[in-house]
């Protein structure tokens, strides 16, 4: 089999074009870039998780409904998913550093005004503005591809991927203390200060941007795709509260589906489309995107169910508070931080295919343990370690498959699409979990007597959720089997970046 297509190489310190087989000489610069983009990704995940403990308090402060308050998290996710491909395209054309700074400007402005919100709708607007900043994540992964030799891209991306869980755990724990002691406004005030600091660091540290051919940006196609994806995400977000076949929901579903399908028809007729559809026919690109949808659904299905189970009152769950729940999951996030870079190195040495199988195996173990071994918080911690190791070991290979399979001038938009699809799957996961938990219920018992009108998810509901997770994991294994494996030679006799082998 042939090797994956080789993207155009990044620039070396002198500014001249580096050959495909020429190793990067400025390792200190590459390390600084990695630390910088990792810090940015950590900030985004930290802040977005920090907001979660404050949602009930915000709802009370603004005297609003739980449905409207849920948009505090949904607005960020939906806008972020929609803009990721467009900002990726702009990053490929005009430079990824430039687009990271623009994204970070939106994010900084959004968190800056959020803490002074006079109404819930102003806060939702600020959250939507922050969503534009979510494009930072795929752009950062693309910067890593431009900065490191190909055999070191996966380990570097593994570090970034591992910080997702670290940021989430820190945000859940620290955010609870900040909101409890200072107020939810300070979650945004502190993020504003950190954002300004990171903006200055990005501006100073990242020196070598790699813009591609300018060409014509397909803003019409971007608008069609963003509109379609937004409507579909709104449908998924609002389904549990409005009802899946409610007239309002149909008004989201039908236009969203039509616009999304029409996008692909529209793109076929363009000379310079937002997404080159022929690139989606590359086997590893297609497999990575399909696994992205399935793994996103699987990850949030499990995460949502476990958090809900941990906080349910005894004996239905453990009756933990938000802080205790975060501390219960902290060892699993630490395991991700350790395993992430190691998994990246293994992708470079063994290829993505074996690592996808290993990740699926870890996830299978975690899901089985959730079914048979969740009697106490220690059991839950152990189960989460396996599950989150499976998550990080899935994200790293598919991100690397996109990075090495696409031409350099399309990597950022490719990663943006993959991010969008993972978020789309991530929006489906909690919906599935919610439907199951509201379908399979049991009366709440206090002092041996049922509480009238209070129904809680039964053990059968959680078992079914984890069993669906097992099915999704088997699907990941099937998709991974269809991928084409590749490995890289290490730096020897000028052979860095050279794919050593590729096989079905």
Concatenated DSSP letters for 296-355? HHHHHHHHHHHHHHHHSPTTTS----HHHHHHHHHHHHHHHHHHHHHHHHHHHHH-HHHH
Encoded tokens for 447: 């002092």
pLDDT in tens, 279-323: 888 999 999 999 999 998 898 888 888 888 888 888 788 888 777
Which of 39, 64, 51 minimizes the C-alpha distance to 189? 51
Give pLDDT, residue 20.
37
Long-range contacts: 178-187, Cβ < 8 Å, 24+? 178/50, 179/50, 179/53, 179/54, 179/57, 184/51, 184/54, 184/57, 184/58, 184/61, 185/115, 185/116, 186/115, 187/47, 187/50, 187/51, 187/54, 187/115
* Domain membership flag for residue 3: no
Which of 231, 214, 233, 234 minimizes the C-alpha distance to 223? 231
- CA–chain centroid gap for 355, Å, is 19
What are the angstrom distances between the C-alpha of 103 and each of 19, 48, 119?
Answer: 31, 15, 25
For 3, phi then psi, to 5°, come to -75, 160
* Domain membership flag for residue 18: no
Whether 225 and 85 have beta carbons less than 8 Å apart is answered as: yes
* Domain membership flag for residue 391: yes
Backbone angle region of 279, left / alpha / beta, with phi > 0 → left and psi within -120 to 50 → alpha = alpha
pLDDT band at 209 (very low <50, low <70, confident <90, very high): confident
Residues 281 and 258 in one domain: no
Q: Which residue has the higher pLDDT, 479 or 236?
A: 479
Q: Which residue has the higher pLDDT, 273 or 448?
A: 273
CA–CA separation, 497 and 18 (whole Å):
11
Residues 233 and 297 in one domain: no
pLDDT band at 246 (very low <50, low <70, confident <90, very high): confident
Tally of CB atoms within 10 A around 90: 25
Residues 154 and 40 in one domain: yes
* Domain membership flag for residue 22: no
Give pLDDT, residue 456.
85
- Domain count along the chain: 2
Q: Which of 229, 258, 273 is the last residue of a domain?
A: 273
Encoded tokens for 95: 């430079």
Whether 351 and 486 have beta carbons less than 8 Å apart is answered as: yes
- State the DSSP H helix or E strand holding residue 501, giving kind and residue range, or none if neither: strand 499-503
Q: Radius of gyration of the chain from Cα atoms?
A: 22
Residues 184 and 323 in one domain: yes
- CA–chain centroid gap for 66, Å, is 25
CATH number of the domain at 426, please.
1.20.1250.20
Give pLDDT, residue 352.
93
Average pLDDT, the chain: 82
pLDDT band at 474 (very low <50, low <70, confident <90, very high): very high
Residues 236 and 312 in one domain: no
Residues 183 and 228 in one domain: no
Tally of CB atoms within 10 A around 201: 15
* Domain membership flag for residue 8: no
Residues 157 and 227 in one domain: no
CA–CA separation, 19 and 241 (whole Å):
55
Lowest mean pLDDT among 104-108, 114-118, 326-330: 326-330
Give pLDDT, residue 149.
84
Helix (H, G, I), strand (E, B) or coil at 152: helix
Domain containing residue 236: 218-273
Going by the DSSP 8-state scheme, the letter that residue 455 receives in this structure is E
Residues 381 and 300 in one domain: yes
* Domain membership flag for residue 265: yes
Alpha helices of 440-502 — where are they, by DSSP H? 459-481
Q: Which of 207, 238, 273 is the last residue of a domain?
A: 273
Lowest mean pLDDT among 172-176, 193-197, 486-490: 486-490
CA–CA separation, 417 and 41 (whole Å):
17
Residues 429 and 332 in one domain: yes
- Is the pLDDT confidence value at 494 over 70? no
* Domain membership flag for residue 288: yes
* Domain membership flag for residue 2: no
Q: Which of 232, 252, 273 is the last residue of a domain?
A: 273
Burial label, 325 (beta-carbon count in 10 A; 0-12, 13-18, 19+): buried
Residues 299 and 436 in one domain: yes
Following CA atoms 332, 333, 335, 336 in sequence, which dihedral angle do they give, to the nearest 10 degrees?
130
What are the angstrom distances between the C-alpha of 92 and each of 33, 96, 233, 282, 302?
Answer: 18, 7, 26, 19, 34
Which of 417, 5, 4 minimizes the C-alpha distance to 221? 417
Helix (H, G, I), strand (E, B) or coil at 271: coil
Residues 55 and 171 in one domain: yes
pLDDT band at 192 (very low <50, low <70, confident <90, very high): very high
- Global pTM value: 0.80
Work out the percent of the chain whose per-residue pLDDT is above 90.
26
Residues 349 and 258 in one domain: no
Encoded tokens for 23: 């190793």
Whether 140 and 40 have beta carbons less than 8 Å apart is answered as: yes
Lowest mean pLDDT among 261-270, 327-336, 387-396: 327-336
């Amino acid at each position: 089999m042939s090797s994956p297509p080789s993207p155009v190489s990044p620039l070396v310190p002198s500014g001249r074009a580096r050959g495909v087989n020429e190793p990067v000489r400025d390792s200190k610069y590459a390390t600084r870039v990695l630390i910088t983009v990792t810090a940015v990704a950590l900030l985004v995940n930290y802040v977005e998780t920090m907001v979660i403990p404050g949602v009930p308090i915000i709802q009370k402060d603004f005297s609003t409904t739980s449905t409207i308050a849920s948009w505090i998290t949904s607005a960020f996710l939906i806008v972020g998913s929609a803009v990721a491909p467009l900002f990726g395209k702009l990053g490929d054309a005009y430079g990824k550093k430039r687009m990271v700074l623009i994204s970070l400007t939106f994010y900084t402005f959004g968190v800056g005004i959020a803490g002074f919100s006079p109404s819930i709708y102003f806060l939702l607007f600020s959250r939507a503005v922050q969503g534009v900043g979510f494009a930072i994540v795929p752009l950062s992964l693309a910067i890593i591809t431009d900065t490191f030799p190909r055999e070191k891209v996966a380990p570097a991306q593994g570090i970034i991927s591992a910080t997702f869980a670290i940021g989430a755990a820190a945000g859940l724990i620290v955010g609870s203390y900040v909101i409890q002691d200072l107020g939810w406004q300070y979650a945004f005030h502190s993020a504003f200060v950190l954002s300004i600091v990171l903006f200055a660091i990005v501006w100073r540290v990242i020196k070598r941007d790699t813009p591609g051919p300018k060409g014509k940006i397909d803003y019409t196609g971007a608008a069609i795709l963003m509109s379609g994806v937004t409507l579909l995400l709104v449908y998924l977000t609002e389904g549990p509260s409005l009802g899946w076949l409610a007239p309002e929901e149909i008004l989201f579903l039908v236009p969203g589906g039509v616009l999304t399908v029409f996008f692909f028809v529209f793109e076929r007729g363009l000379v310079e489309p937002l997404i080159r559809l022929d690139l989606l026919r590359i086997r590893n690109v297609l497999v990575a995107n399909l696994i992205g949808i399935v793994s996103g659904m699987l990850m949030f299905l499990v995460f949502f169910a476990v958090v809900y189970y941990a906080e349910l009152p005894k004996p239905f769950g453990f009756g933990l508070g938000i802080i205790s729940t975060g501390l219960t999951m902290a060892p699993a996030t630490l395991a991700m931080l350790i395993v992430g870079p190691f998994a990246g190195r293994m992708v470079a040495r063994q290829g993505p295919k074996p690592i996808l199988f290993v990740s699926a195996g870890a996830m299978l173990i975690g899901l089985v343990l959730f079914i048979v071994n969740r009697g106490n918080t220690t059991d839950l911690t152990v189960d989460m370690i396996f599950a989150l190791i499976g998550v990080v070991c899935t994200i790293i290979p598919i991100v690397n498959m996109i990075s090495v399979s696409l031409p350099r001038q399309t990597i950022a938009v490719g990663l943006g699409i993959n991010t969008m699809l993972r978020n789309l799957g991530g929006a489906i996961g909690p919906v599935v979990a919610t439907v199951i938990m509201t379908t399979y219920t049991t009366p709440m018992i206090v002092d041996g007597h049922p509480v009238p009108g209070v129904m809680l998810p039964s053990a059968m509901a959680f078992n079914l959720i984890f069993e669906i997770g097992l099915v999704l994991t088997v699907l990941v294994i099937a998709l991974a089997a269809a991928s084409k494996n590749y490995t890289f030679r290490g730096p020897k006799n000028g052979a860095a970046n050279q794919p050593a082998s590729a096989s079905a």
